[in-house]
A = this chain, B = another copy of it.
């Protein structure tokens, strides 16, 4: 089972992936700017840098294929911006949780989806998507806030459960379709089951129930 038939064409893939990484970068930057401690700022600025590096790698790839990055990302901005607004969180901890869970899910998803691309650029694209994202750094930051604060833990568990729904929708939007919708769903389902299992492991790492 794979997503090959549902993988968008290379340009669409790169445009969506690049704009999603830009959003992940923006989210991480926002929590840098509002971080309560200098230490948190320092850690989260590394996370922002990792997402920015992915964004830049992907836009370079677009330009390598002769495209204009801004123009190619443009049609996808509205959908991704709406997702960003819905998932920005009500305070700093929810926003950091979004940086951890939504970014983690989307990083997994795009890496998985890239496997369906048929292009000689695949090794380069995989290298960009597989690069460090700082997930463990955010988990450590969140864990130290959650420990000994059951009320915060309960709130973030709720937030994490809400996030996964919105994140699956934006991932679903990235996929193409074939003429056989039943077969599409049969292909998508096991992949999403895996992605949700990874999401649950991320929640577990914080001691939260998914």
Contacts and interface: CB of A to CB of B under 8 A. Distances in A.
* Interface residues of chain A: helix, strand, loop or mixed (majority): helix
Nearest to A56: B49
A33 interface: yes
Contact of A32 (B29, B59, B71, B73): B29
Contact of A52 (B22, B33, B38, B45): B45
A135 interface: no
Interface size class of A (residues with CB under 8 A): 20 to 34
10 contacts: A19-B38, A22-B32, A22-B45, A26-B29, A29-B29, A29-B32, A29-B48, A37-B70, A45-B52, A49-B49
Contacts of A161: none
Number of copies: 2
A2 to B, nearest CB: 31
B33 A29 contact: yes
A2 B32 CA distance: 35
A16 interface: no
Interface of A: 19, 22, 25-26, 29-30, 32-33, 37-39, 41-42, 45-46, 48-49, 52, 55-56, 59, 69-71, 73-74, 77
A75 to B, nearest CB: 9
Which of A25, A42, A48, A56 has the largest number of chain B CB atoms within 10 A? A42
Nearest to A32: B26
